[in-house]
Amino acid sequence: MKLVVLANREPIRRVGERYEVALGGLAAALYPAIRARGGVWVAWGPGGLDERIALSRLVVRRVPISERRVAGYYQGYANQALWPLFHLFLKHFRVKRGWWRDYRVVNAAFAEAALEEGGRDALYWVHDYHLSLAPALLREAGARCIGVFWHIPWPPREVLAVLPEAEALVRGLLGADLIGFHTPDYVERFLEAARAWLGARVTEDGVWVGRRFVRVAAFPIGVDVAGLEAARSRVADRAAAIRAAYPGRRILVGADRLDYTKGIPERIRGYRRFLEKYPEWAERVVFLQLTAPSREAVPAYRGLKSQLLRLARATERRYPEAFVHRYAVLSRDELLAHFAAAEFALVTPLRDGMNLVAMEYALVSEGLPLLSRFAGAARYLKGALLVNPYDPEGLADALAEALTLSETERKARRAELLASVKGLDVGNWAEGFLEALSG
Ligand code: GDG
């Protein structure tokens, strides 16, 4: 069956006059499945162009969305209503009826373009919170095989109730045959929402919508294990150069998109608390925080950016040898070289659907992540050092403990960590989901 993927971002980039496949994140996960079956990727087209770009086995179908609509659909409804609410940040939650209208229009445009490409018989795979209404629209138009993967957390019922359109959202998703989440907790909460909002009959593994059964299950995503293992030797020289730049210091790394969910200021405060409480380490460690700009058109992110840059500068002034902040998008290999150079990674989101950084770090380095309990990944990554990112004192103590871990314990944790990360390969994730959907 032909595969039609619906996702906000397109998996290509322009190189001179041509396009090439950009194998980051989701695209890397789905590309093998698309190559094997032949497929179409329906995505938001920059510049309002309605275009169809054919690259060997992949066709990208761009859905044109005007700038005004992007402001409502993407910057508005997706990133100021759904994203903050589903990550339990009620203080950043905003609603506007106009945003919801734009969101509906864009979802309909995605569904229409997808149906033009796939007809009734394709296998449709819808991704994430930008497109929650598309599954029901595809179903109404006659599509018969529809999967959804939800990449962010699903919130508890009282929180979902804050969203005026909660019922429409749940109904939209229930147009699918299979709905995937990262963890069983999110699955359970979604089932509860279906019961509460629609009065639907719910079992342990799905929802009855009339006579149709919608399966709901956990499909934890992973990373490209072989690709990251292969990267180790490629970035080894650069990693050695990074280590050499901080002689006599043990390196800690943090790497995130700039987002309030990622807990970057909280992490820096925890690190400062660590240096105050355990001053003997101030001469012997350095923490490199790498922050990539993100969603700069959304007001909450602009506020966060100035707050973070102020805190980072103050910390650099206070601890010039022990703290470095880089605010830039790094190349993939530069990022991985920093991972390889570091003995510990601070992966401390306040809330995260899964979190891929901890897994990438585990494969490329010899070290251990200090991982937030509130990342979906905490459930799967055995051996990681779990922390509460809201508690600077706890973070400080966890760092001191990590730095004095015995070699035996470090090795035992590394072995557990590697086994769990290797068990979550992203290729298997995509194949597993598609098999469950079509099988
Ligand atoms: C969503 C969910 C879920 C970071 N800085 C740079 C850079 N990165 C890369 C990392 C990693 C990716 O970005 C971030 O992935 P995460 O999983 O950590 O977070 P989200 O972007 O929020 O992703 C999340 C994921 O979807 C998958 O379902 O795990 O919970 O929120 O790959 O390495 N990459 C480059 N330069 C940087 O400066 N090249």
Residue 396's pLDDT is 98
Which atom of ligand 1 approaches the CA of 352 most closely?
30
Tokens of 33: 């499945």
Residue 58's pLDDT is 87
Pocket test for ligand 1, best of 291, 347, 356, 429 (most atoms within 8 A of CB): 356
Residue 24's pLDDT is 67
Provide the 8-state DSSP code for 126. E
Q: Tokens 């350095």 map to which residue?
A: 286
Cβ atoms of 223 and 190 closer than 8 Å: no
> Measured between alpha carbons, how far is 316 from 323 in angstroms, rounded to an integer?
6
Residue 214's pLDDT is 98
Residue 127's pLDDT is 97
Residue 122's pLDDT is 95
Residue 50's pLDDT is 61
Q: Which of 373, 364, 377 is nearest to 423 (CA)?
A: 377
Domains of the chain: 3-221+426-438 (3.40.50.2000), 226-422 (3.40.50.2000)
DSSP 169-213: HHHHHTTSSEEEESSHHHHHHHHHHHHHHH--EEETTEEEETTEE
User: Which residues, 6+ apart, have CB-to-CB distance to 212 below 8 Å?
Assistant: none
Cβ-based neighbour number of residue 38 at 10 Å: 13
Q: Which of 121, 122, 186 is nearest to 149 (CA)?
A: 186
User: Which residues, 6+ apart, have CB-to-CB distance to 132 below 8 Å?
Assistant: 82, 107, 148, 169, 172, 173
Radius of gyration of the chain (CA): 22
Which atom of ligand 1 approaches the CA of 329 most closely?
38
> Measured between alpha carbons, how far is 205 from 95 in angstroms, rounded to an integer?
32
Q: Which of 342, 346, 367 is nearest to 357 (CA)?
A: 346
What is the b/e burial string over 289-299, where b = at least 16 CB atoms within 10 angstroms of the residue's CB? bbbeebbeebe
> Measured between alpha carbons, how far is 43 from 65 in angstroms, rounded to an integer?
10
Residues of the chain short of pLDDT 50, as ranges, are none
User: Which residues, 6+ apart, have CB-to-CB distance to 305 below 8 Å?
Assistant: 258, 293, 296
Give this prediction's pTM.
0.96
Residue 56's pLDDT is 77
Question: How far apart are the CA of 217 and the centre of ligand 1, in A?
Answer: 23
Question: How far apart are the CA of 18 and the centre of ligand 1, in A?
Answer: 26
Question: How far apart are the CA of 292 and the centre of ligand 1, in A?
Answer: 10
Question: How far apart are the CA of 295 and the centre of ligand 1, in A?
Answer: 13
Q: Tokens 């105050």 map to which residue?
A: 276
Residue 17's pLDDT is 79
> Measuring from each residue's beta carbon to the nearest atom of ligand 1, which residues come in under 6 Å?
25, 151-152, 221, 255, 257, 290, 292, 329-332, 335, 352-357, 360
Q: Tokens 């010039």 map to which residue?
A: 320
User: Which residues, 6+ apart, have CB-to-CB distance to 114 below 8 Å?
Assistant: 4, 6, 40, 42, 61, 122, 124, 134, 138
Residue 424's pLDDT is 95
Tokens of 15: 């190189």
Beta bridge partners of 14: 19
Which atom of ligand 1 approaches the CA of 353 most closely?
30
Question: How far apart are the CA of 357 and the centre of ligand 1, in A?
Answer: 6
Q: Which of 230, 241, 235 is nearest to 334 (CA)?
A: 235
> Kind and range of the H or E element at 26?
helix 25-37
Pocket test for ligand 1, best of 257, 326, 421 (most atoms within 8 A of CB): 257
Burial (0-12, 13-18, 19+ Cβ within 10 Å), 140: exposed
Vertex 157: Cα angle to 151 and 163 (nearest 5): 75
> Measured between alpha carbons, how far is 195 from 212 in angstroms, rounded to an integer?
15
> Measured between alpha carbons, how far is 412 from 414 in angstroms, rounded to an integer?
5
Distance in angstroms between the alpha carbons of the first and the last residue of the chain: 11
Question: How far apart are the CA of 25 and the centre of ligand 1, in A?
Answer: 7
Question: How far apart are the CA of 281 and the centre of ligand 1, in A?
Answer: 30
Phi-psi region of 405 (alpha: psi -120 to 50; beta: other; left: phi over 0): beta
DSSP 305-372: HHHHHHHHHHHHHHSTTTEEEEESPPPHHHHHHHHHH-SEEEE--SSBSS-SHHHHHHHHSSSEEEEE
